[in-house]
Amino acid sequence: MYALQTSDLHHRFASHDVLRGIDMQVPTGSIYGFLGPNGAGKTTTLRLVLGLLQTQQGEIRIFNKRFDKERIAILRNVGSLIESPSLYDHLSAYENLRLMQIIHRCPATRITEVLELVGLADTGKKRAKQFSLGMRQRLAIAGALLHRPELIILDEPTNGLDPSGIIEIRNLLMELNRRDGCTILVSSHLLSEIDRLATHVGILGKGKLLFQGTIDELRRCRQEVLSIRMSTSNNAAAVRAITEDGIAARLIEEEIVLPALTGERIAGLNRMLMARNLDVYEIRTVRNDLETIFLNLVRE
């Protein structure tokens, strides 16, 4: 079952096609990373999903309910943060959440709970206008979590956070997903964060969904061996022996760097070096990472 589905979703601004047939499928209970360069259409997609833009073409279903038919009932079970946090600057963190708590009609005790979750429990009467960008971001996330939604949609939730803040938000989202089973859809340009956080990923480029599936599926179908790295008891002698064997070898930072080779060829090199009384300490493959896979997809 999918927490969110879009079918043939299109959107135009004036004469410009922003989205061109987006078929998104976010599995229930997943953390879905939504990746794409600036201008790819990520925020437009999320705005359509939340009803902040009117759907021009296509269908949106959340928990198998059509958004155009059951919008109010659906949104009661969705928490979101899109672009910049919308806060009342003259109010404290607690007072901001108090207004949202009244709207959502959830227990007042939940305010203290979410403030502790995002690390703002000790801000007291400090007004939101005095908050740093990272504090404002965490308060907006607290608002998205306030009514215990089953689907949380976050657009760049770690924007403005320092490295420790990024780790805190990542751990928070993973804990919410693990403990409460809530589905999380998070867009980000931080590929390393999506790699650590997400179970599934969708990659958007020029208004089209270029890939959708699990992180492991993305690696299996797109990851390539870039080089072989080797370390021996005498790297200079090993480079000479490997070169004589017809393989281009270089010594870089006390490691022997070879081109991509088959398993059989690597095993043969190992036997040849041992026959020359050279001890092989390590042989490893270097593959392209998520960032390289992403950039290759977008370029193609």
Sorted by where each starts, the structural domains of the chain and their CATH numbers stand as: 2-221 (3.40.50.300), 224-288 (3.30.70.100)
Arithmetic mean of pLDDT, 25-40: 91
Separation CA 183–CA 34 (nearest Å): 13
> What CA–CA distance (Å, rounded) separates 243 from 77?
63
Q: What's the burial of 275, exposed, middle or buried (CB within 10 Å: 0-12/13-18/19+)?
A: exposed
- Which DSSP string corresponds to 174-230? HHHHHHH--EEEEE-S-HHHHHHH-SEEEEEETTEEEEEEEHHHHHHHH--EEEEEE
pLDDT digits (tens, 9 = 90+) for 234-259: 999 999 999 998 898 888 888 999 88
Q: How big, in percent rounded to 5, are the helix, strand and coil portions of the chain? A: 40, 30, 30
pLDDT of residue 14: 83
pLDDT given at position 192: 79
Do residues 52 and 58 lie in contact, with contact meaning Cβ atoms separated by under 8 Å?
no
Find the mean pLDDT for residues 34-49: 90
- Residue 224 has a pLDDT of 66
- Tell me the residue length of the chain: 300
Q: Record the pTM.
A: 0.79
DSSP letter assigned to residue 95: H
Structure tokens at 229: 């790295």
Assess whether pLDDT exceeds 70 at residue 300: no
Does pLDDT of 223 surpass 70? Answer: no
Q: What is the pLDDT of residues 154-211, one digit of tens each?
A: 998 887 778 888 888 888 889 889 988 899 999 987 777 888 899 999 999 888 998 9
d(CA 88, CA 86): 7
